[in-house]
């Protein structure tokens, strides 16, 4: 990782700069040769399983369908459901594997060389068409197989928890608020994410530095086009009701309170 990248992040964000100094040089692994079918098949196997169990299932897949090598999309499509189930895949994962194989043969999932020519968002749009493959899975492929420098997986628990720890927040940041804050890290958001993961390690070791400054995250818009939720929605309705009422008019609830006070009671 170049010193220019770390200097840029440190200038853009004092808290992240302190974390960088505490952790030291970034040790992001060099990108690997990317074989999208194999990477995504492995991701499907690992869903909701620990690494040991997932690797056992993948070994059975290699032995039963690939005759010792990772199976091709043709081999996965031709494999009976019972054989994949016997390897340890659930019905849902069997369906995802079959869909991945079919979309690979249809070139919806491109090969490694074609993938390299696409932008990050184009890759996300293509690969998330596969059943069982979400944005987070593709973001991990972008970061660790393709070495894309500007990926910020805002839905990743470790990234969000690392941000909370490093910045001294009382609660987890909303993904949209984290994405807005991360704009200042462009075009090196992959490196920033790596340091946020390290923040949790420092916290467990008791060596996480105090944030260089206190921050206030931008408010995250609600899921319905920015509409407020919860208490904010209640307050907004009250404000609209007051503005819509004639001057001096009393709402039914305030009138009821007045009657109770006159009667010497409390609500």
Domains in the chain: ranges and CATH: 3-28+151-205 (1.10.1670.40), 36-144 (1.10.340.30), 230-262 (no CATH)
189-205 and 14-23 helices cross at what angle (nearest 10)?
A: 60
CA–CA dist 71, 66 (Å, integer):
4
CB 25 within 8 Å of CB 14: no
Which stretch of DSSP H or E encloses residue 215? none
Assess whether pLDDT exceeds 90 at residue 242: no
Please confirm, yes or no, whether 99 is among the known catalytic residues: no
Nearest-CA neighbor of 242 among 230, 234, 251, 232? Answer: 251
Query: Tokens representing 190?
Result: 């992959």
Assess whether pLDDT exceeds 70 at residue 224: no
Among 33, 99, 150, 156, the active-site one is 156
Nearest-CA neighbor of 93 among 123, 124, 53? Answer: 53
pLDDT tens profile 16-56: 999 999 999 999 887 778 899 999 999 999 998 899 999 99
157-167 and 14-23 helices cross at what angle (nearest 10)?
A: 100
pTM for the whole structure: 0.78
- State residue 239's pLDDT score: 52
Helix then strand then coil, in percent of the chain rounded to 5, is 60, 0, 40
Mean pLDDT of 92-107: 97
3-12, 55-64, 179-188, 224-233, range with the lowest pLDDT:
224-233
């Amino acid at each position: 990782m170049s010193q220019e990248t770390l200097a840029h992040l440190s200038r853009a964000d004092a808290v992240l700069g302190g974390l960088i100094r505490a952790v030291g040089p970034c040790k992001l692994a060099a990108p690997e040769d990317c074989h999208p079918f194999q990477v995504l098949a492995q991701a499907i196997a690992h869903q909701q399983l620990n690494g040991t169990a997932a690797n056992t299932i993948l070994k059975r897949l290699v032995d039963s369908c690939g005759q010792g090598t990772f199976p091709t999309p043709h081999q996965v499509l031709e494999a009976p459901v019972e054989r994949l189930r016997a390897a340890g895949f659930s019905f849902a994962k069997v369906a995802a594997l079959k869909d991945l194989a079919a979309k690979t043969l249809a070139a919806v999932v491109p090969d490694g060389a074609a993938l390299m020519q696409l932008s990050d968002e184009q890759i996300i749009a293509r690969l998330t068409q596969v059943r069982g493959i979400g944005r987070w899975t593709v973001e991990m492929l972008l970061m660790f197989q393709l070495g894309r420098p500007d990926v910020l997986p805002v839905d990743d628990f470790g990234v969000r928890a690392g941000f909370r720890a490093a910045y001294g927040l009382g609660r987890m940041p909303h993904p949209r608020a984290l994405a807005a804050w991360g704009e200042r890290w462009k075009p090196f958001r992959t490196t920033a994410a790596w340091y946020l993961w390290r923040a949790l390690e420092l916290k467990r070791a008791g060596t996480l530095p105090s944030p260089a400054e206190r921050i206030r995250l931008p408010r995250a818009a609600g899921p319905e086009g920015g509409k407020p939720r919860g208490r904010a929605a209640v307050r907004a309705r009250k404000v609209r009701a007051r503005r819509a009422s004639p001057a001096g008019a009393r709402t039914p609830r305030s009138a009821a309170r007045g009657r109770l006070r006159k009667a010497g009671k409390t609500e």
